[in-house]
Amino acid sequence: MTFELPGRQVSLLGVKDVESLITDPTDEDKVPCWAEIWPAARGLAQWIWKNATFAGDRLLELGTGLGLPGIICGIKGAQVTFSDFNPSALELVRLNATRNGLLDFCTHLGDWRDFKLPGKFRWVMGSDIFYDPKLNVYLKELIPRVTADGGNVLIAHPGRPASFRFVEELMEVAGFDEQHQVVPVTIEDPYFPYYEIHIHHIKLNSQV
């Protein structure tokens, strides 16, 4: 599959039959959400391409899936760590990153409920991963812990109430400043082709 940006085309390997990966639909951990490019990832990739600069900054993508936003960051000069709790996602993102010319990247297998990754990152981001209040509890602790002093957090979602609440709670506990933009996204879907993706650029105060 390909993703078009002004002056750049990104080529991604994907999963032909996502449903074949579902082994237990009652177990949320086994639902292969990682195997698709969700509208929020597309919107975040567009926003990054237009607005962000990195100059070698360390960047962590949480719940990377196929890795589209992180790959865009790598193309723009970030040192990207792609993180997911599914080994198959990381296998595919390594292929996708290499496929698009990234050299300075790594991957991390980690579960937010017990996330162990040394060091801090100038940028931390996630697209449409803040939808479950049960998991948001862990992300609210994780993100300030892995974000460098004065660093940046990017959150993208298609207008989910739980995601808006997460942004509010994160700002309260960590003392962030926030800028909020909406990016329109169109996908090839006969029923739901149009999305408004909310991008929250949250900057950690230097004293936190």
For 41-67, the pLDDT digits (tens) are 999 999 999 999 999 999 999 999 999
3-state helix vs strand vs coil in the chain, percent to 5: 35, 30, 35
Decide if pLDDT at 20 tops 70.
Answer: no
Please provide residue 80's backbone torsions phi and psi, each rounded to the nearest 5 degrees: -95, 135
Mean of the pLDDT values across residues 177-204? Answer: 94
Start-to-end CA span in the chain (Å): 41
pLDDT band at 27; cut points 50, 70, 90: very low
Distance CA 131, CA 78 (A): 27
More confidently predicted of 117 and 26: 117
Decide if pLDDT at 175 tops 80.
Answer: no
Mean of the pLDDT values across residues 75-99? Answer: 96
**DSSP one-letter string for 157-175:** ESS-HHHHHHHHHHHHHHT
pLDDT band at 7; cut points 50, 70, 90: very high
CATH superfamily membership of 41-204 = Vaccinia Virus protein VP39 (3.40.50.150)
Q: Which of 9-23, 81-95, 185-199 has the lowest mean pLDDT?
A: 9-23
- Which residue do the tokens 């750049």 mark? 8
* Model pLDDT, residue 29: 54
